[in-house]
Amino acid sequence: MQLVGMYNGFGTTLGPHSAVTDKPTDGIPSRKEEITLRRVGIVAAWGPELDAVNRNLPPVNPVTHGAWDFRWHHLDDNTEIISVVSGVGKVFCASATQLLIAKFAPCEMYMTGICGALQDELLGESLVVPERFYQHDVQSPATPGDPFDLNQGRSTWYEPDACLLQRFRAFTASSIRAHFGVVVSGDQRIRSGELRDALRQTFAAIAVDQELAAFAHVCTVNRVPFLGVKAVSDNANELTEQLQRRHKLKACDAASNALIGFLSSVKQQTDKG
């Protein structure tokens, strides 16, 4: 099937896409245009977190913007994926996420990768899907009075797109066990049982990572629907390195495979509908 009219980020036109924005960028069609193709962005902090995506959907024609290489993947005749490895930490993640949104105008954004469990029932490679995101390493959480967190200098919370979250719940209900709850992010690597307990108690959190809240912030201020899908690599305590040797790479694949399965299932539901 030949697609017509979609800019693929590499200076060529392949077919229309979908989303909502106020202005075109670098020749990319405006997201206010009438669209038929679904364009999805996927961000991961670390290269192996996208290995399963690259194996299942081999990337073509990488393009470099700034410090990041963006790769295009063909999921099906109606869905394309733009992926990027941001680097570890909130600043790298926020920068790469903003650039992907600005350059490629996706209709949906996802982050995949690994996280540390804050609840004992989350075992290695358990799937984690945030219902709410906090930055744990800034001042006390703000009220939603400053929803974009631009003025108060404090961290508000962020929530994923309700429709995407509902669809993911339905997807996992019959096929994959997933844990839904609060996930906290900070640039500090949590490898202390004391800190682990404090994060769990302060935020009622089930997991911790170093990027998701920054990813959520950027998607929120750009008004792009988003969802996080991660898997447990360790328990965020003194045994982290030992557990990561056992689970880290498997967790990377578990999260990415679940995300690919979800994106494919959305296409199948659309076909049936």
Residue-wise pLDDT for 39-94, tens only, equals 999 999 999 999 999 999 999 989 999 999 999 999 998 999 999 999 999 999 99
Name the residue among 52, 47, 51, 70 with its Cα closest to residue 60: 70
pLDDT tens sequence across 9-25: 333 333 333 333 343 44
79 touches 37 (CB < 8 A): yes
Residue 33: is its pLDDT beyond 70? no
Q: How far apart are CA 13 and CA 191, in angstroms?
A: 47
Contact 266, 149 (CB under 8 A): no
What is d(CA 145, CA 162) in angstroms, rounded to the nearest whole number? 20
Tell me the pLDDT tens digit for each residue of 197-242. 999 999 999 999 999 999 999 999 999 999 999 999 988 878 878 7
What class is the 38-272 domain? alpha beta
pLDDT at 154: 59
> Does 106 score more than 90 pLDDT?
yes
CA distances from residue 170 to 95, 122, 166 in whole angstroms, order as listed: 32, 20, 6
Q: pLDDT band at residue 146, thresholds of 50, 70 and 90? A: low
Q: Is the overall model pTM greater than 0.85, yes or no?
A: no
